[in-house]
Amino acid sequence: MTTTAKEPAKATQAPLTEIVIPVRNEAKMLPSSIHRLHDYLVQNFPYPFLITIAESGSVDSTRDVGAALARRFPEVEFVSLDGRGRGLALRHVWAESRADVVSYMDADLSIDLNGFLPLVAPLASGHSDLAIGTRHARGASVRRSLLRSVLSRTYNLILRIVLGVNFSDAQCGFKAGRREVVQALLPTVHDDKWFFDTELLCVAQRQGMRIHEVPVDCLDDPETSVDIRRTVWDMLRGVVRVAGRRMRGSLIRPLPPHLQRPKLLAGPVHQFLRFAAVGAVTGVLHVLLYLGFRTMMPALPANGLGLLLATVLNTAANRRITFGVQTRHDMFRHQAKGAVAFLISLLCVSASLLALGPHASRAVELCVLLAGDALASLLRFTLMQQWVFARPAGEGNGGPVR
């Protein structure tokens, strides 16, 4: 017998799974989708389930249709919200949920339902924290317009480049998560519209959560009512906003100890590659600052001021990117120690510039500047690894420096 929504979750040891269907103006599609989903779950899904229709901002008869479906099926509930937005609907239902696993699907059920059990199983077992359907992995089968396919792949490429994400499909409407993990992450997720689930995944990755991917079969609805231009604009704004929050460190918040995943420190080779990438960016910045200041002052003070500003940014970037320091704790101490590396760099490069004399060409000055930066960078990496960001004695390798 299938456990209904009205029965307490503790009546069975099997994990209760809640499937949220966010809807707006879906009165025509909703009955057939709910019937199809309900029949599939009854016949094929081994866990007790609850289907929640979450309506927001409809101006057609979606409210009446949703309420009627909730009266017909004991496993279906209906909620209506005053505001608008997929994220708003998911936030409201997931925050109040008492299920073990929370999930959502698009109302058109464009993703093959045979992928739902593989989506939920690693969450029910505790192996993973979130799970997403992906249309961009080997084994997926997709039929959709060329425009939407190009936009989707471009969007996910932007996420990889700008936000450094590892997941392959941020916007597939087929996601699930362990309820206690999702509820712990929700306060850090600010978007209430289309960018909501992308932001949730970004926050989860920054917290070290394990994200499972399931290749899915997808047949997009050619008559979708989604405003693609507006959605793309909202997505890009969301990427910029999350990139800013990531730089400020506000994507991280303390989680209960039992939800934290152990984080392994990057090995020295990976650390050096990250350090080199950061150094390349701040090195270019140093040169640009030097050239700007050189128009107003002699070479030595222009180099000193440019190197100071570049080094402050270099230390801040290496805290997060190279050595995994995700909190503000000890930030000023790290900057103070980083100042030692700045002084050494300043002495190395300044000595080289002094040796050139006042009549050296600007091109020669730049060559010496870059060579000095390269030598000083090797020394800075050693100091940062062994002293500035060194782990306290006796601390294990289970997490980043705090």
What is residue 394's predicted lDDT score, i.e. its pLDDT? 44
What is residue 346's predicted lDDT score, i.e. its pLDDT? 66
How many Å is the maximal CA-CA distance in the chain? Answer: 90
9-259 under CATH 3.90.550.10, yes or no? yes
Average pLDDT, the chain: 83
What is residue 225's predicted lDDT score, i.e. its pLDDT? 56
What is residue 378's predicted lDDT score, i.e. its pLDDT? 75
DSSP, residue by residue, 245-270: HHHHTTT-----GGGPPP-PPPPHHH
Cα–Cα dist 299/244, whole Å: 34
What is residue 114's predicted lDDT score, i.e. its pLDDT? 95
Q: What is the dihedral of CA 200, 204, 207, 210, to 10 degrees?
A: 180
Cα–Cα dist 128/356, whole Å: 59
178 has which bridge partners? 101
Phi first, then psi, for residue 220 (nearest 5°) are -65, 145
Per-residue pLDDT of the chain (402 residues), as tens digits, is 333 344 434 444 689 999 999 999 999 999 999 999 999 999 999 999 999 999 998 999 999 999 999 999 999 999 999 888 899 999 999 999 999 999 999 999 999 999 999 999 999 998 999 999 999 888 888 887 788 788 888 888 888 888 888 898 988 999 999 999 999 999 999 999 889 999 999 999 988 899 999 999 988 765 555 667 777 788 888 888 988 888 777 888 888 888 887 665 456 677 777 788 887 888 788 888 888 888 888 888 888 888 788 878 888 887 777 776 766 677 778 778 777 766 776 677 677 777 776 777 777 777 777 777 677 777 777 877 777 776 654 444 334 333
For residue 359, give both structure tokens: 């009549």
- Each domain of the chain, given as residue ranges in start order, spans 9-259, 268-388
What is residue 267's predicted lDDT score, i.e. its pLDDT? 61
Q: Count Cβ atoms within 10 A of the Cβ of residue 367 and give its class: 0-12 exposed, 13-18 middle, 19 or more buried.
A: middle
What is residue 271's predicted lDDT score, i.e. its pLDDT? 75
- Tell me which residue of 284, 270, 273, 272 sits closest to 373, measured CA to CA: 284
